Amino acid sequence: MLSLILPISLVSCESSPILVGGADDWVPVAIDDDPFLPPAEATACTRWWVTGEDLVLDTAVCPWFTAQQPLWTDLQGGDRITSTVAWDPLTSSDGFTLTLALMIDDTVVWEHQHSLPAEAGALDIDVTLEAPAAVGAPMYLHVDGADAGKVRWGPVWKP
């Protein structure tokens, strides 16, 4: 009699996270095209770079920064997106408030304000979207208010 033993593999019903946007695709938005309406004294940012999966911004050179990239996947109302943002100790000579924001299409989906000066810190972003957005729609990240220190923004995921 011949016996046949077959391996069985169990597949989880949970899906893997989907990358909505990564560090290498961010491009600075021209001041004249910035949806966050920069102040008159804002200038184009030249001191940002990618390290690993993070976009890094030097606020000593770039106190106002908006970057854009197209969504890599369709998003539906009710979908969650996640990311992280971290900062070194930050200062502001004028006592401004640090503003961090994430916008999809023409809707700010997440915004955080933090008093300055600020010790080093980090935030986990976890947002449930109210409206759908199609692959290719613009996604923006925005930082303003600090004039010394670095801000690091991680990739955006759909868990």
Q: Where are the domains of the chain?
A: 18-158
Work out the average pLDDT over 17-31.
92
Q: Quick one: pLDDT band at residue 14, thresholds 50, 70, 90?
A: low
The answer to whether the CB of 107 falls within 8 A of the CB of 88 is no
Indicate the range of 5-9, 20-24, 37-41, 53-57 predicted with least confidence. Answer: 5-9
What is the rounded distance in angstroms from the CA atom of residue 2 to the CA atom of residue 97?
75
Query: Across residues 41-68, what is the average pLDDT?
Result: 89
The CATH number of the domain covering residues in 18-158: 2.60.120.200
Q: Do residues 57 and 154 lie in contact, with contact meaning Cβ atoms separated by under 8 Å? A: no
Is 105's pLDDT higher than 80? yes
Write down the mean pLDDT value for the chain.
87
- Burial letters 23-34, b for 16+ CB under 10 A, else e: beebebbeeeeb
DSSP designation for 148: B
